[in-house]
Copies of this chain bind each other. A is one copy, B any other.
Amino acid sequence: MPEPVHRVTFMPDDITVDVFRHGETLLRVAMAAGVHINASCGGNGTCGKCKVIVDRGLVESKPSAKLSDEQWEQGYRLACLTKVMGDLVVTIPPESRIDNAALKARTGGKRHILKARDLNTLVQGLTVDPAVWKLYLELPPPTPDDNLSDLGRLMRELKRRHGLDGISTDFRLLTRIARLLRDADWQVTVTLVYNPKGLKLIDVEPGDTTERNFSIIIDVGTTTVKGQLLDLRECRVAAAGKDCDDDEEANLLAEDARYNSQVRFGEDVISRIVHSQKGDGLRELQQAVVGDINEIIRALLGQSGIDRENLSHMVVAGNTTMTQLLLGIDPKYIREDPYVPTANFFPPVRGIDIGLNLPEHVHLYTFPLVSSYVGGDIVAGILGSGIFQREDLTLFIDVGTNGEIVLGNCDWLVCTSCSAGPAFEGGGVKHGMRATRGAIEQVRINPETFEPMVITIGNRKPLGICGSGLIDAVAEMLITGIVEPNGKFNRGLGTDRIRETEGAWEYLLVPAAEADGVGDIVITEGDLDNLIRTKGAIYAGCRILLESVGMTFAELDRLIIAGGFGQFINLERAVTIGLLPEIPVDKFMFVGNGALLGARLVSFSREMMRDARRVSDMMTNIELANNMRFMDEYVAALFLPHTDTNAFPEVMKLIHPDPAT
């Protein structure tokens, strides 16, 4: 865990919290600490409700029309506009506070966000041995007594100096090797790639370019495409295993992400598959994502100043549909019962053959996959989190448009996929949106007044609510009694925020006046229903996997949350609504982007490349589509947190703070 840089004590409750980022706003510090400060404008200074008094310590703050000159002199500041620059003592004045005794019980929740780097420690015996590497050779020029062929000369040197043998050669390279060797005066750098059939010589460059060996790894998500540029030089790779002061990996040179342009043909994999069956649809989808990756390549090269010619390898992890669409392979049967992908492993293909703007020799390694709905991204996540190497029992959950779940250890792995629905990505929710600027990401609700405190991404006026914000809001509404366990609003609370509009019930989260031109931002009973179905499917899926091996949540040694989404949800809130099981908090772990994590390992280690194949072979897929037991579990989970309240004793205490009821 990182060290705190400052501490802030909130008075009069005397709650002291650690601050990990210099310049963090006081509002976020308070929210993270569970200290309630009224605020409904998302943190952009317009509502003026989050007044605090800075008693002691260094802050940077902006004046506001909501503060009089007299108040400014007295130390009043808006918490949302005030940055923590040193240790502070801050008083929350009566108008901004409520009695937060009820909230105290909920403080201390840690996010348990693990840096990807830390995960290197999860994977055992990672020897640095990249799948693509370079060797500098100084060849003796041919003479009448030694007039071996050019390729033979290269191979002889690889054998003599490096003990390498049985290397195959890319045909296209042979068309230019003769002149190249002579122009380079027989001093060249060769690029070798390890693939399932052995070693292959893919490039020869003049001079010594061993210092320029780079890989691009890509996570092709249904919604987002992310890329990283990695330095494969051995020294850099070795450094990655060491402690870094910096947040960035020593070998991570650049990062970029874009929305998947396929979105214009459909939000989810099913609608994309439908589109692929129309006329030129398959080609359109392929070109869309290839275009995105080309943009990412350009951005990564631009950021790092690295030449395209020095790229040696590309690794792609994506779900099954994304993988097939990228490769131009008809995904039709992925969505037709019995849901069959074309292959579990696609042979490496040259990037330029599918339209990627890469040097001729760069091959695309796509992660092996398990089934139509447990794809290469999940195999990458399992690889990256080291589950397949450990004896203890891990449950791995990746929540995105779908929820993929894996259970197992070094001896066995079972997996499944639930059609979770896109609630967590803003889909099917009236004011849902993706986690971008203006999205409400944190919500607190005053249990007495039922007034909310919201923080948006970027501290902007609210535009809508993202997945983590929805979970936060629903958890708050459940705890405060605004929502009943059956997912209906409590209509007798006497607050105007719970209201009926056009025959449907809703909770007013942000009135139009404080929102960013989108009218009232509300959470409807329809939204609740959607969220409950989504969380219910995931929870039920976990139960089915455990049941398939005769186990329960209690027997888990670890529960790993993967996916971009996992980085933003508050663990305890996810447990509160019954998305995650109530198990000891220290068993949870967030791994961030498992796909990129696995892709990086495969870039750095041939052993890991072999393991990726082994992991995909090990994984037994359980189909939930026609599974009656799943239906039972699913129905039982359509409650907040669950019909089986015994499984959520701590959550039940929050919901019923008065033990008498």
Contact B169 A347 (CB under 8 A): yes
Q: How far is the CA of A329 from the CA of B172 in the complex (A)?
A: 9
Distance between Cα atoms of A330 and B198 in the complex (Å):
27
A150 contact from B333, B349, B353, B623, Cβ within 8 A: B333
Contacts of A178 in B (CB 8 A): 329-330, 332-333, 340, 342
B152–A343 CB distance below 8 A = yes
| A347 touches which of B149, B171, B337 (Cβ 8 Å) | B171
Chain B residues closer than 8 Å to A142, beta-carbon distance: 338, 340
Closest Cβ of chain B to A199, distance in Å, is: 10
Question: Are A149 and B343 touching (Cβ within 8 A)?
Answer: yes
Q: Say how far A227's CB is from chain B's closest CB, in angstroms.
A: 22
**B174 near A197 (CB under 8 angstroms)?**
no
Q: Which residues of B contact A327 (CB under 8 A)?
A: 171, 174-175
Mask of A121-149 contacts with B, CB within 8 angstroms, 1/0: 00000000000000000000011101111
Q: How far is the CB of A348 from chain B (nearest CB, A)?
A: 8
Contact B625 A144 (CB under 8 A): yes
Q: How far is the CA of A340 from the CA of B150 in the complex (A)?
A: 7
Assess whether B341 is in contact with A176, with CB atoms less than 8 Å apart. no
Q: Which residues of chain B have C-beta atoms less than 8 A from A347's C-beta?
A: 168-171, 174
- Whole-angstrom distance from the CB of A150 to the nearest CB of chain B? 5
Closest to A371 in B: B147
Q: Does A551 touch B at the CB level, under 8 Å? A: no
Query: Does A151 make an interface contact (CB < 8 A)?
Result: yes
Q: A344 contacts the other chain (Cβ, under 8 Å)?
A: yes
In the complex, whether A194 has a CB less than 8 A from a CB of chain B is: no
Report if A196 contacts B (CB, 8 A). Answer: yes
Q: Which residue of B lies closest to A349 (CB)?
A: B171
Which B residues are CB-close (under 8 A) to A343?
A: 149-152, 169, 174, 177
A553 contacts B by Cβ under 8 Å? no
Q: Are B182 and A333 in contact (CB under 8 A)?
A: yes
Contact status B175-A330, CB under 8 Å: yes
CB closest residue in chain B, given A372: B147
Q: Would B623 and A171 count as touching, CB distance under 8 A?
A: no
Question: A182 contacts which chain B residues (CB < 8 A)?
Answer: 333
A639 to chain B, nearest CB (A): 29
Residues of B contacting A372 in the complex (Cβ-Cβ under 8 angstroms):
147
Measured in the bound complex, the distance between the Cα atoms of B321 and A482 in whole Å is 84
Closest to A623 in B: B144
Cα A634 to Cα B176 with chains together (Å) = 37
Chain B: which residue is nearest A328 at the CB level? B175
Measured CA separation A168–B347 after assembly (Å): 8
Q: Is A339 an interface residue (CB 8 A)?
A: yes
Question: Is the C-beta of A346 less than 8 angstroms from some C-beta in chain B?
Answer: yes
Bound-complex Cα distance A371 to B337 (A)? 58
A626: Cβ under 8 A from any B Cβ: yes
Q: Does A179 touch B at the CB level, under 8 Å?
A: yes
Contacts of A371 in B (CB 8 A): 147, 149
| Chain B residues closer than 8 Å to A171, beta-carbon distance | 327, 346-347, 349, 353
* B residues in contact with A151, CB < 8 Å: 342-344
Cβ A330 vs Cβ B197 within 8 A: no
Expressed in whole angstroms, the Cα–Cα distance for A169 and B149 within the complex equals 30
- Quick one: CB contact mask for A321-365 with B, threshold 8 Å, 1 for yes? 000000111101100011111111011010001000000000000
Give residues 616-647 of A contacting B (CB, 8 Å): 621, 623, 625-626
Residues of the B chain whose Cβ atoms lie less than 8 Å from the Cβ of A179: 330, 332
Contacts of A328 in B (CB 8 A): 175
Q: Give chain B nearest CB distance to A331 CB in angstroms.
A: 8
* Distance from A341 Cβ to chain B, minimum over Cβ atoms (Å): 5
- Choose one: B143, B177, B339, B346; the contact of A147 (CB below 8 Å): B339
* Closest beta carbon of chain B to A610's beta carbon, Å: 13
Q: Which residues between 429 and 470 of chain A lie within 8 Å of chain B, taking CB atoms?
A: none
Known: A147-B338, A197-B197. A176 touches B344 (CB 8 A): no
Q: In the complex, what residues of B have CB within 8 A of residue A333's CB?
A: 150, 178, 182
Q: How far is the CB of A419 from chain B (nearest CB, A)?
A: 15
Q: Which residues of B contact A621 (CB under 8 A)?
A: 147
Residues from chain B with Cβ under 8 Å of A174 in the complex: 327, 329, 342-343, 346-347
User: How distant is the Cα of A182 from the Cα of B349 in the complex, in angstroms?
Assistant: 25
Residue numbers in B under 8 Å from A152 (CB-CB): 343-344
| Shortest CB distance A388–B (Å) | 20
A345-397 residues with Cβ-Cβ distance < 8 A to B are: 346-347, 349, 353, 371-372
Q: Can you list 9 contacts pairing A with B, beta carbon distance less than 8 Å? A: A148-B340, A149-B371, A150-B333, A169-B347, A175-B328, A175-B330, A178-B329, A178-B340, A197-B198
A residues apposed to B, CB below 8 Å:
142-144, 146-153, 168-171, 174-179, 182, 196-198, 327-330, 332-333, 337-344, 346-347, 349, 353, 371-372, 621, 623, 625-626
When A and B form their complex, which 9 residue pairs have the shortest distance between CB atoms, in order from nearest? A151-B343, A147-B338, A197-B197, A144-B338, A149-B341, A142-B340, A149-B344, A178-B342, A171-B349
Instruction: Given contacts A149-B344, A177-B343, list 7 more A-B pairs with CB under 8 A.
Output: A149-B371, A151-B343, A168-B196, A168-B197, A171-B327, A178-B333, A179-B332
